[in-house]
Amino acid sequence: MRWPLIIPGKKLNAMAVVIVLVLMGSLILSVFWHGSTAVISRLSGHHVVVIDPGHGGYDPGAITSQGIYEKNVNLQMAKKIRELLKPAGIEVKLTRDEDEDYVPDGVRGKVTKKQIDLNHRINLAAQAKADLFVSIHLNATESGRNSGAETFYHYKSGEGKKLAEGIQEELIKIPGMNRRIAKPGDFYIIKNTSMPAVIVELGYISNPKEQKKLVQSWYQDQLAKAVAKGIAKYFGIP
């Protein structure tokens, strides 16, 4: 590289001032544009994502012998994901902000109550004109041996598959995570949404070792970042 000719005297001082000002301006612009602590870059354009904390209210989901309720962890995770997506300019709506369900009093029958609750969540996403629907859950088995996060999409949805693969690719980057792939399914809530939808099973609450991590804030943060980055990837945000 050839260096420019140095000019002595006052011209040199003036040139130095100009260079410093240009450098300072570039630095300020860079911080303003990229942010100092953002996990995800900012999105150009407006998108709406509905995050569904699975279960709630009368429906606890899986329950451990230690008294850990899946519905509570699901809500914690959904709120963390929402906070990570906000700086990217993505509008995030939750299907529930507290421990509640959407079954009217007097309704009986496990299947009927579940369908009413799920239909309400599906309708909330439609009313919000959501671009994506992401339902957050924890898995459980009787044996307690299974572990790791899994992401499901409806087998007829190409866009759902794209979203699921993006999220799962981020989840398996977490140290110690099983290297599962996104899987097709025919679950009611992802079958009946009008937008691309996935179910994210963030781990097995029935596995003693994984259960301990799933209730820890530091591990929840890792999971939330992975899901948020997978969603951002779908929109083309680095």
- Quick check: 14 pLDDT over 90? no
Residue 132 in any domain: the answer is: yes
Task: Please give the mean pLDDT across all residues of the chain.
Answer: 87
Do 89 and 173 share a domain, yes or no? Answer: yes
Residue 1 in any domain: the answer is: no
Do 173 and 220 share a domain, yes or no? Answer: yes
Do 34 and 76 share a domain, yes or no? Answer: no
pLDDT tens-digit profile of 150-203? 999 999 999 999 999 999 999 999 999 999 999 999 999 999 999 999 999 999
Residue 171 in any domain: the answer is: yes
Q: What is the DSSP string of the chain?
A: -PPPPP--THHHHHHHHHHHHHHHHHHHHHHHHH-SS-SSPPPSS-EEEEEEE--BTTB---B-TT--BHHHHHHHHHHHHHHHHGGGTEEEEES-SSS---PPTT---HHHHHHHHHHHHHHHHHHTT-SEEEEEEEE--SS----S-EEEEETT-HHHHHHHHHHHHHHTTSTT------EEE--HHHHS-SS-EEEEEEEETTSHHHHHHHTSHHHHHHHHHHHHHHHHHHTT--
Do 34 and 64 share a domain, yes or no? Answer: no
pLDDT tens-digit profile of 89-119? 999 999 999 999 999 999 999 999 999 999 9
Do 143 and 198 share a domain, yes or no? Answer: yes
Residue 106 in any domain: the answer is: yes
Residue 147 in any domain: the answer is: yes
Do 162 and 185 share a domain, yes or no? Answer: yes
Give the range of the structural domain holding residue 176, as residue numbers without chain letter. 47-234
Domain count, the chain: 2
CATH code: domain of residue 182: 3.40.630.40
> Model confidence at 238, in pLDDT bands (50, 70, 90)?
confident
- Quick check: 223 pLDDT over 50? yes
Give pLDDT, residue 211: 97
Structure tokens at 171: 């989840």
Do 134 and 229 share a domain, yes or no? Answer: yes
- Quick check: 13 pLDDT over 90? no
Residue 55 in any domain: the answer is: yes
Do 65 and 152 share a domain, yes or no? Answer: yes
Residue 73 in any domain: the answer is: yes
Residue 2 in any domain: the answer is: no
Q: Which of 165, 168, 160 is nearest to 186 (CA)?
A: 160
- Quick check: 22 pLDDT over 80? no
